[in-house]
Structure 1
Amino acid sequence: MHSASKIYNAPLTSRLTEKQRQQLCDMMGNLELTLLYKGSVHGYQASAFHQRCDRQGPTLLVAYNRSGYIFGGYTSVDYAQSGQPIRDDQAFLFSAQDGKDPVGIRVNSGHYARYDDAEGPNFGQQLYFCYNNHPLVKIEFILNEAFSFHSFSYGYDTWLSECEVYKVEQRSALLQMPWRNVLWTAERRAELMEMIRNFKPLVTSVSRFRILMIGPVGAGKSSFFNSINSIFTGHVTNKAMSGSAGTSLTVQFRTYPLKDGCGGKPLPFVLCDTMGLEDQSGAGLDIEDISSILQGHIPDRYTFNPTTPFQPDEQKSSRPASLQEKIHCVVYVIDSTKISLMSDKLQEKLASIRRKVNSLGIAQIVLMTKVDEACPLVEENLQSVYVSSYIKSKVQEVSSGLGVPVSCVLPVKNYSQELELELNCDVLLLTALQQMLRFANDYLDDVGPL
């Protein structure tokens, strides 16, 4: 009895690595994990699970099997043994193999996320943990699924080497002082718009700055153009194709000149949109194509071929492109919610692009999108972006990962589901655009009138 009590009260040690913990937190937002239950310590009986985990608020279950897979699920609704089916639109499953990024699977709309009974935890009455009071997982594939299992991986190994449940809590994330000062006023928005209208390239041979957007699929490159266009048009627009598809919706190299309102004067910059970067070789934008874009060789509406890089016309490539045709500022567009989930292959691609851009001396900025989805406090009030310790930590993580100064990392929220313009959103977007134009002018000042 004494030894059993000693085991039961042993300090709980999480099996998650720091990287795995960070990746899972990123899937849920700015949250903190506290270990409540550990099967190897407390036993795999349903009663042990409920004793430790009932009425603890949102929880994350993490299971490990002998084949090196990590998988589990999140629910925002308390376990209470109510005997009722539970609706929870925040619920999701995840799975990953050792060394790979986790894949999240949201609950399908209109379905119950789990059944709240006295047995071991389950999700959608499809996925059962600690089944029958054993270190066992049971998966049932049914027609009317609460969760779509097509991307759920567990190596078909149903015996668990460990099962852990974590209490999920929001961190206290508001700093006493903002780490960047921003004026969130209509006057500031008007001032920024006027400065951008009147911005002129330092080199007279260049009529407009050319800004190239580069980033993973779905990060928000096309959405940034749409958002800037919306501000100067006066209402939300969707001129560039954007969405949340798994592969790039942009298949052409597009140069988007903008006007100051419908039928207005041209603004002094062009936003250049590219196909999204993807993990696999032979998919997404090719690094050689980026080199051709930077040097001004690829024409507007050129259709990318991921398996064959652009071949410049021999006659045209014999002469260097003019400074007007080259890229003056490169903007890396990174999704705030996926920073820790970025694969090694994608990071390698970005690093090789950075080396090429550095060799050409072109100015570089990082646009960190979807800050509202990354931090609940920022979602509640966008003005919290520069007092959010979580967003600050993500900016520092991007800075370190991409090798750019913190001052070059700019958090923004693009227009996505809104029907009307919003002041705070506009101020962040216009501040980022102003920095891009300043950096582009710094580059032109360096290279001189070529």
Structure 2
Amino acid sequence: MNPRLTKSQQRALCSQLGHVKLQLLYKASIHGFTGAAFHQQCDNKGPTVSVGYNASGFVFGGYTSKPFNQSGQYIQDDQAFLFTFKGANVLKYPVTNYTYAVRMISGSGPYFGETLILVYGSRAVAYSCPGRYYSFTAAEMHGNDLQLTECEVYQVQESKVLETPWRTIVWESERRNELMDSIKLYKPAHSSVSQARILLIGPVGAGKSSFFNSINSVFRGHVTSQAIAGSSGTSLTTQFRTYSVKAGRDGKTLPIILCDSMGLESTGAGLDVDDISSILKGHIPDTYQFNPSASLHPEAHGYRKSPELKDKIHCVVYVINASKVSIMPAKLEEKLAAVRTMVNLMGIPQLVLLTKVDEACPLVAEDLRNIYKSQYIRDKVQEVGARLGVPLSCVVPVKNYCEELELDLNCDILLLSAVIQMLRFVDNYFDDLSDRFRNLETKE
């Protein structure tokens, strides 16, 4: 369920409400253009922003700080307002008689004081009566086009600043240099392996390819885009790719390989679980073209029948969009659980990369150094840990380079810290492998 309200429109609305973010609760095209469907999704959810869209291109709606219910009564709300967008700007119409700010009617959707009603009964229309409890011009607000093409309701979630960061991190250029040097000097704890192989797994659009591009950018000294990345309904990565990182344009290859996989879509398409097994065991070669309808066959061209330790995956990283943790489809959650079970059986350490934290939390968008002071991001880390069944220490929030043209110190430190954590987990993999060999030798 993707919001139709653009990121810039969301930011514009949030700027009117303080340090908050918007979480999509109701989408009429999915849940139904009825009052009953609206109330089922939105009642008792606290402050909300309701948005209507019409064929004339107008985006308009209302905000109430009070939770919706079906009491049939008027609710006082001196903070309520109606709005419309004029370009990138929000035109705001505050309530003029707050005693009648919002009416809670069971048969209809968002109902702002007999002045604006979205989802009127069971019809995709809005009701508008300017001047009654709110003052606005109909032509300016919605162009007198009351036939809705979509209606959405967003929960307004406050972003709290914690007095003490829940993780400590040093935001200094010296720290970035230390992290980069640690990665450059890293050596896998096994003589036959020169590069740690880390597999990135996650749903479409979570930021797997962007993470490689971001790490590559840090070591190149400028923003790069080697791996195909972007926004699409289906996976832009259709091959299994293994990417090495160089320290500078002509620099030394780093002791790490990031393996990019096809998006783990929730139903019918995306990376097959059997293919993941083949990747983990080292059977799948670089540039292998995935076939969503059939897993890799042992007789296929390039299939490694006897992979070496250097070909196998030494750490698995699940890449999850922080903004979509709460709306993760059940089928995707089940698929991730199946992958986790398989990875556990193989004894491979697992980490979760929580991406797009700036889009998820306004405090972080304002200043990336707020990431470990954000209660919202901490809640998301706890939620994704619970959904995927991993400890909180295995969840690392980051921001990839997506729209920037220049590097940012704070972004670099977060990205490099994530790589350091991955390498520590790789060490755990080799330590466990050594322990198992020693135990076998002892038994013999």
TM-score scaled by length of structure 1: 0.70
Q: 1:307 aligns with which of 293, 300, 305?
A: 293
Q: 1:246 aligns with which of 230, 233, 248?
A: 233
Identity across matched positions, percent: 50
Residue 80 (structure 1) shift = 3.9
**1:341 has 2:331 as partner:** no
Structure 1 residue aligned with 2:258? 271
Structure 2 residue aligned with 1:206? 193
Residue 248 (structure 1) shift = 0.3
Cα distance per residue 1:318-364 (max 9 Å; x no partner): 95411110000000000000001100000000000000000000010
Equivalenced residues, count: 352
Residue 53 (structure 1) shift = 5.8
Q: Provide the secondary structure at the position in 1 that maps to 2:396.
A: strand
Distance 1:272 1:128 in 2: 49
Aligned 8 A contact 2:202 2:263 in 1: yes
**1:375 has 2:406 as partner:** no
Residue 56 (structure 1) shift = 1.9
Residue 263 (structure 1) shift = 1.2
Structure 1 residue aligned with 2:441? none
Matches within 5 A, 1:31-430: 34-35=65-66, 38=69, 40-42=71-73, 52=76, 56-57=80-81, 78-80=92-94, 119-122=115-118, 128-129=125-126, 149=149, 168=156, 170-171=158-159, 173-281=160-268, 283-313=269-299, 319-430=305-416
Q: Provide the secondary structure at the position in 2 that maps to 1:224.
A: helix
Aligned 8 A contact 1:34 1:166 in 2: no
Which runs of at least 4 in structure 1 moved beyond 6 Å after TM superposition? Answer: 17-20, 145-148, 314-318
Distance 1:58 1:131 in 2: 11
Unaligned runs of 5+ in 1: 1-13, 43-47, 60-74, 83-115, 133-141, 155-164
Residue 121 (structure 1) shift = 3.5
1:204 maps to a residue whose letter is S
Aligned 8 A contact 1:250 1:275 in 2: yes
Distance 2:79 2:41 in 1: 27
Q: Provide the secondary structure at the position in 2 that maps to 1:310.
A: coil
Q: Classify 1:343/1:271 alpha carbon distance in 2 versus 1 (closer, same or farther; 3 Å).
A: same
Residue 77 (structure 1) shift = 5.7
Residue 204 (structure 1) shift = 0.5
Q: Provide the secondary structure at the position in 1 that maps to 2:407.
A: coil
Distance 1:80 1:33 in 2: 11
Q: Provide the secondary structure at the position in 2 that maps to 1:254.
A: strand
Aligned 8 A contact 1:57 1:76 in 2: no
Unaligned runs of 5+ in 2: 1-37, 52-62, 84-88, 97-111, 130-141, 438-444
Residue 269 (structure 1) shift = 0.6
Aligned 8 A contact 2:364 2:371 in 1: yes
**1:436 has 2:422 as partner:** yes
Distance 1:259 1:318 in 2: 26
Q: Provide the secondary structure at the position in 1 that maps to 2:311.
A: coil
Q: Classify 1:428/1:131 alpha carbon distance in 2 versus 1 (closer, same or farther; 3 Å).
A: same
Q: Classify 1:167/1:33 alpha carbon distance in 2 versus 1 (closer, same or farther; 3 Å).
A: farther
Q: Provide the secondary structure at the position in 2 that maps to 1:393.
A: helix
TM-score scaled by length of structure 2: 0.71
1:128 maps to a residue whose letter is V
Q: Provide the secondary structure at the position in 1 that maps to 2:66.
A: strand
Q: Classify 1:36/1:279 alpha carbon distance in 2 versus 1 (closer, same or farther; 3 Å).
A: closer
Cα distance per residue 1:274-303 (max 9 Å; x no partner): 00011212x000000000000000000000
Distance 2:67 2:295 in 1: 52
2:200 maps to a residue whose letter is M
Cα distance per residue 1:23-75 (max 9 Å; x no partner): x99x9xxxx98435546422xxxxx5xx756752589xxxxxxxxxxxxxxx9
Q: Provide the secondary structure at the position in 1 that maps to 2:387.
A: helix
Distance 1:146 1:329 in 2: 54
Q: Classify 1:252/1:315 alpha carbon distance in 2 versus 1 (closer, same or farther; 3 Å).
A: closer
Q: Provide the secondary structure at the position in 1 that maps to 2:371.
A: helix
Distance 1:258 1:413 in 2: 18
Residue 440 (structure 1) shift = 0.7
Distance 2:358 2:222 in 1: 21
1:272 maps to a residue whose letter is C
Structure 2 residue aligned with 1:139? none
Distance 1:339 1:167 in 2: 15
Distance 2:237 2:253 in 1: 24
Residue 317 (structure 1) shift = 7.0
Structure 1 residue aligned with 2:32? none
1:193 maps to a residue whose letter is M
Q: Provide the secondary structure at the position in 2 that maps to 1:242.
A: coil
Structure 1 residue aligned with 2:11? none
